[in-house]
Amino acid sequence: MVFPPRPSTVLRYVVPALLLAATFYSLDEPAYYLSQLGPLFLPAAWSGSAKYRPSEHPIDGLIKAAEIEFADKIAKATRTLPDAAAAYRKRRGRHPPPGFDKWYEFAQEKHNAIIVEEFWDQIYHDLEPFWAVDPARIRSDARRFEMRLEIRDHKASTRSDWFWTQIWLEMIQAIEHLLPDMDLALNAMDEPRMVVPWEDIDKKMKKAAKTRMLVDPKRVVSEFGQLPPAQWKEADEGGLPEWEHEKHYWLIARRGCAPSSPARQAPVINDFDRSPSIASSFGLEHMHAGYVANYTLSSDFCHQPDLQALEGIFVEPLTLSATKSILPLFGGSKLAVNNDILLPAPMYWKEEDRFTGAEGASIPWSSKSPTAIWRGVATGGFNRPTNWRAFQRHRFVAMNNASQLQLASSSPPLNFALPDDRYGLSALRDSSNNNNNDLAAWIASTTNISFTDLFCSRPNPDSSSSSSTTTTTPSHNAKEEADECHYVTPYFSTTHPLPLSTQFAHKYLPDIDGNSFSGRYLGFLRSTSLPVKATLWREWHDARLVAWKHFVPMDSRFGDWWGILEYFAGKDHDGAGVDEVNNKGGRDEMAERIAMDGREWARTVLRREDMLVYVLRLLLEYARVADERREVMGWVGDLM
């Protein structure tokens, strides 16, 4: 795609999409939409030709492209069961699973969910390889896990009292009356478990593709089978494959990439006791003029081998237990290459204030401080004297520290790179002779970013290698911390944690991965502030969010951070030194609009009800793929 799109191109695509969207909304009633139709769909520059100001900024083009992508997506919404079934067959190449009519009723009639078949793409991505696994093996593997849910006779139960399992149980109980018998193995760790080699997955996908067909409706079996009663014998985990505990996760993760990919080809980095090389050229494939243009691709590391020294997960994750075998294991988030099956993460279902910041979530944009805030623990994995410079949160905090920016004018920064010239930052125009003073002053006045805990104290790091579930608690004793954190205290100081509701008094919310995905993201989306998201993690909701429409995407090297900040917030937060056009004429409004669109969309398609609709669809598919008769099972009520 060409950015920014030429007006004629935009007109050709956006107008039909808008008409379709308008038809959809006039027939259906997510009420807020009717009132928002105009401003929601029209890029600001178009909402009146008098206001149109030509602009060269690449972000303008990305925002316009996102409007089109979003309008196209929702124009595909279906409003009847036969239409939904037809959209299913077209996209999936199979009949919908048995119970599809009940699913539809639950989604549409009961919960007024928007039905766009694409919204469930993740399910098909996750389950497709299992069409090449013997169903009996799927069922027996699931039963071997200690931590599992069993559904029999429309009742879900578990023997595990692990709090995540309990939350997932509660979620699944809300739909148990619609579920067939099944066993669900759950991953208790933060980190995902499976990386099946690319070559094996490729074979499985080819085999699975052969089962993809629309069998004659007269032959279709539309009832699920029953399973023997839950037994709750001791789980026989001994029958499962050996778990690998390789601490250098890059070595494991990259086998999920294609053999010809840079991740498989590039030399492995073993020495993290140095400043990482932040080679932005690896980001070019997913960027346009310095900004993320393909967000899905940006979160895939197979073309980005430099990330092996820029992300804690690859350097030394906190807990690790991996396998090459494919197992029917469910979890809350995963990297692009992991084969785990995604459920909505427990903290999203639970909606604790700690993750949602409920009380601050509706602060009006105009009364917020035009600044970026971030608080968090120095997680990402085990940080040590010899590897901390490779950790993403450490990189992000350091590059937002005015004193480190100033020091960087005389000696190279330890763990980040100064802004590239191509961003043309105002703050750097005269910095060559003033020791980065302008840059430092701008960052000091526009950001408020610090760790709340350096997370470097632990009992005995090396004892963790034998046990996959060892976790550590950071020390809160100042003296102990000073001793154990000697390698980072020259560069970082901690501040008190701030509840999300307080953070929401700031306009910009950068979101940086911790040990795995960031559990506050849903809270950020639902707030009236603007999330700026860099991530390598995939979640259940990815197919329903559009980058630059509902949130601002950021590259995992963070080289675009300052450009994003200047585009939306201007050079100075009080407006001094910012040209009028940038500051008053729309970029703050642009930020506000993305923040509000994201909020409204999250309240429409990321509700707890939407999580249930997702899980119900997922589990109907899972029960089918684990059934001997799967190739002839389906719902064909509309064809009979």
The answer to whether residues 282 and 262 touch, using CB atoms and an 8 Å cutoff, is: yes
Angle subtended at Cα 27 by Cα 24 and Cα 29, rounded to the nearest 5 degrees: 95
Q: Is residue 205 near ligand NAG by the rule CB under 6 A?
A: no
Amino acid identity at 243: W
Q: Which tokens sit at 348?
A: 């999203």
Q: Measure the CA–CA gap between 518 and 313, rounded to whole angstroms.
A: 13
Judged by CB under 6 A, the stretch of 102-110, 174-182, 355-363, 487-495 that binds ligand NAG is: 487-495
Q: How far is the CB of 292 from ligand NAG (least distance, A)?
A: 11
- Residue 292, helix vs strand vs coil: strand
Q: Which tokens sit at 100?
A: 């599809």
Q: Measure the CA–CA gap between 564 and 631, rounded to whole angstroms.
A: 49
Binding marks (x or -) toward ligand NAG, 87..106, rule CB under 6 A? --------------------
Q: Between 498 and 525, whose beta carbon lies closer to ligand NAG?
A: 498
Q: Measure the CA–CA gap between 458 and 224, rounded to whole angstroms.
A: 50
Q: Between 308 and 450, whose beta carbon lies closer to ligand NAG?
A: 450
Q: According to CB under 6 A, which one of 327, 498, 509, 619 is a site residue for ligand NAG?
A: 498
Left (φ > 0), alpha (ψ -120 to 50) or beta: where does 455 sit? left
Q: Is residue 297 near ligand NAG by the rule CB under 6 A?
A: yes
Q: How far is the CB of 268 from ligand NAG (least distance, A)?
A: 24
Q: According to CB under 6 A, which one of 492, 521, 548, 561 is a site residue for ligand NAG?
A: 492
Q: How far is the CB of 498 from ligand NAG (least distance, A)?
A: 6
Judged by CB under 6 A, the stretch of 123-131, 262-270, 424-432, 491-499 that binds ligand NAG is: 491-499
Q: How far is the CB of 384 from ligand NAG (least distance, A)?
A: 19
Count of residues interacting with ligand NAG (CB under 6 A): 16
Q: Measure the CA–CA gap between 135 and 364, rounded to whole angstroms.
A: 52
Q: According to CB under 6 A, which one of 23, 26, 265, 296 is a site residue for ligand NAG?
A: 296
Residue nearest to ligand NAG (CB): 493
Q: How far is the CB of 401 from ligand NAG (least distance, A)?
A: 4
Q: How far is the CB of 621 from ligand NAG (least distance, A)?
A: 22
Q: Measure the CA–CA gap between 78 and 24, rounded to whole angstroms.
A: 9
Q: Between 350 and 506, whose beta carbon lies closer to ligand NAG?
A: 506
Q: Is residue 442 near ligand NAG by the rule CB under 6 A?
A: no
Q: How far is the CB of 325 from ligand NAG (least distance, A)?
A: 25
**Pseudo-torsion of CA 453, 458, 464, 470, nearest 10°?**
-60
Q: Is residue 221 near ligand NAG by the rule CB under 6 A?
A: no
Q: Is residue 294 near ligand NAG by the rule CB under 6 A?
A: yes
Binding marks (x or -) toward ligand NAG, 391..430, rule CB under 6 A? ------x---x-xx--x-----------------------
Q: How far is the CB of 553 from ligand NAG (least distance, A)?
A: 12
Q: How far is the CB of 172 from ligand NAG (least distance, A)?
A: 30
Q: How far is the CB of 502 from ligand NAG (least distance, A)?
A: 6
Q: Is residue 450 near ligand NAG by the rule CB under 6 A?
A: yes
Q: How far is the CB of 428 from ligand NAG (least distance, A)?
A: 19
Q: At what angle do helices 58-75 and 7-27 cross, to 10 degrees?
A: 40
Q: According to CB under 6 A, which one of 181, 300, 610, 621 is a site residue for ligand NAG?
A: 300
| Burial class, 259, CB count within 10 angstroms (exposed 0-12 / middle 13-18 / buried 19+) | exposed
Q: Measure the CA–CA gap between 451 and 449, rounded to whole angstroms.
A: 7
Q: Measure the CA–CA gap between 363 and 366, rounded to whole angstroms.
A: 9
Q: Is residue 435 near ligand NAG by the rule CB under 6 A?
A: no
Which of positions 502-561 make contact with ligand NAG (CB under 6 A)? Answer: none
Q: Measure the CA–CA gap between 66 and 285, rounded to whole angstroms.
A: 18
Between β-strands 329-331 and 341-342, what pairing exists: parallel, antiparallel or unpaired? parallel
Q: Measure the CA–CA gap between 336 and 192, rounded to whole angstroms.
A: 11
Q: Which of 269, 71, 488, 324 has the alpha carbon at shortest distance from 474? A: 488
Q: Which tokens sit at 329?
A: 């294991």
Q: How far is the CB of 320 from ligand NAG (least distance, A)?
A: 26
Q: Between 258 and 596, whose beta carbon lies closer to ligand NAG?
A: 258
Judged by CB under 6 A, the stretch of 87-95, 357-365, 485-493, 632-640 that binds ligand NAG is: 485-493
Question: Alpha helices, DSSP H only, in 400-456?
Answer: 402-407, 437-446
Binding marks (x or -) toward ligand NAG, 327..356, rule CB under 6 A? ------------------------------
Judged by CB under 6 A, the stretch of 173-181, 289-297, 476-484, 599-607 that binds ligand NAG is: 289-297
Q: Measure the CA–CA gap between 333 and 419, rounded to whole angstroms.
A: 31
Q: Which tokens sit at 480?
A: 């102990």
Judged by CB under 6 A, the stretch of 83-91, 101-109, 111-119, 291-299 that binds ligand NAG is: 291-299
In this structure, how many other beta carbons lie within 10 angstroms of the beta carbon of residue 206? 10
The answer to whether residues 63 and 43 touch, using CB atoms and an 8 Å cutoff, is: yes
Q: Measure the CA–CA gap between 310 and 538, rounded to whole angstroms.
A: 18
Q: Is residue 448 near ligand NAG by the rule CB under 6 A?
A: yes
Between β-strands 148-152 and 155-158, what pairing exists: parallel, antiparallel or unpaired? antiparallel
Amino acid identity at 215: V
Judged by CB under 6 A, the stretch of 70-78, 110-118, 293-301, 428-436 that binds ligand NAG is: 293-301
Binding site for ligand NAG (CB under 6 A): 1, 294, 296-297, 300, 397, 401, 403-404, 407, 448, 450, 491-493, 498
